[in-house]
């Protein structure tokens, strides 16, 4: 996100260390009066060799936590790209999990009543204007997440007056939403959308990343706009994918 779009001052901050606990969100029915005359061999369910899981994007590999941000009805996201050779040999892929670092100021967290929701949007396209999204909303329930205390860097901007935060990684499981056959594109877009309260906060990186990959909808009715400049802050996301290799399924 561009800090100037929200009337924020640009920041220059070195990587900061922080510690957050990561999350990872047979019944028998039959007639017991009759027994089968032939014993059926039990077949164990085998893992599908043609499907592999991997991490496609991890914000912690490209930057470090700097701030915590949230605004009502804002959408903010990233254009990301897979390595082109991942699709060699007819391989397809699909996103299965998006992890988001959610945060609350400690003073707010103590009385939080589980009323906020956060939404993840996945667009199988280079930007959010080229394809409809697959979306999932999750209500933030305190007792369903592992929370850790976190102190934001001294020059955090948006949450500079609320540096003491409670934080947790929130999992969005997209397996039942995205097509099982997967995609053959390499570019995709993932964004977050806040509810009408603008909470929870989401962790944001240092202002050192590519603005052209960052699109924001400020909720004013104008839709998404592509950010400009050289130094933008990205939401703290981790994205896991599955690849399907038809050759290994034979």
**Could you tell me which of 54, 249, 94 has the C-alpha nearest to residue 179?**
94
Peptide bond connecting 143 to the previous residue in cis, omega within 30 degrees of 0: no
pLDDT digits (tens, 9 = 90+) for 222-237: 999 999 988 999 999 9
pLDDT digits (tens, 9 = 90+) for 115-138: 999 999 999 999 999 999 999 999
Please state, in angstroms and rounded to a whole number, the distance separating the CA atoms of residues 10 and 231: 8
> Residue 69's beta-bridge partner residues?
202
pLDDT digits (tens, 9 = 90+) for 33-92: 344 444 444 444 445 668 999 999 999 999 999 999 999 999 999 999 999 899 898 999
Task: Return the DSSP state at 167.
Answer: E
Peptide bond connecting 200 to the previous residue in cis, omega within 30 degrees of 0: yes
Question: CB of 66 within 8 A of CB of 207?
Answer: yes
3-state secondary structure of 113: coil
Mean pLDDT value across residues 15-19: 40
Side-chain-facing half-sphere of 9: CA atoms under 13 Å: 8
> Residue 78's beta-bridge partner residues?
190, 214
Q: How confident is the model at residue 250 (pLDDT cuts 50, 70, 90)?
A: low
Alpha-carbon torsion (63, 65, 71, 72), positive or negative:
positive
The ranges assigned to domains in the chain are 57-249
More confident residue, 10 or 129: 129
160 pLDDT above the threshold of 50 = yes
**Could you tell me which of 117, 123, 10 has the C-alpha nearest to residue 77?**
123
3-state secondary structure of 164: strand
25 pLDDT above the threshold of 90 = no
Mean pLDDT value across residues 18-30: 41
Other beta carbons within 10 angstroms of residue 188's beta carbon come to 25
| pTM score of the predicted model | 0.81
Structure tokens at 80: 């990301």
Calculate the average pLDDT of the chain: 85
């Amino acid at each position: 996100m561009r800090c100037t779009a929200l009337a924020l001052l640009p920041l220059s901050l070195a990587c900061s260390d922080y510690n957050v606990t990561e999350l990872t969100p047979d019944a028998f029915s039959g007639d017991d009066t009759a027994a089968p005359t032939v014993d059926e061999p039990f077949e164990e369910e085998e893992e599908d060799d043609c499907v592999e899981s991997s991490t496609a994007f991890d914000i912690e590999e490209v930057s470090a936590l700097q701030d915590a941000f949230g605004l009502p009805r804002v959408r903010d996201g990233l254009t990301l790209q897979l390595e082109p050779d991942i699709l060699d040999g007819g391989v397809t892929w699909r996103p299965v999990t998006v992890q988001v670092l959610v945060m609350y100021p400690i003073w707010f967290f103590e009385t939080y009543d589980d009323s906020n929701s956060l939404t993840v949007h996945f667009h199988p396209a280079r930007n959010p204007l080229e394809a409809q999204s697959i979306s999932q909303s999750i209500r933030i329930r305190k007792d369903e997440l592992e929370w850790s205390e976190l102190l934001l860097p001294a020059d955090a901007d948006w949450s500079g007056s609320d540096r003491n935060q409670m934080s947790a990684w929130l999992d969005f499981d997209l397996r039942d939403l995205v097509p099982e056959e997967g995609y053959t594109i390499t570019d995709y877009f993932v964004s977050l959308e806040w509810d009408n309260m603008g909470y929870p906060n989401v962790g944001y990186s240092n202002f050192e990343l590519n603005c052209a990959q960052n699109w924001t909808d400020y909720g004013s009715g104008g839709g998404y706009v592509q950010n400009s400049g050289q130094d933008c802050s990205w939401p703290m996301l981790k994205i896991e994918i599955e690849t399907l290799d038809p050759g290994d399924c034979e």
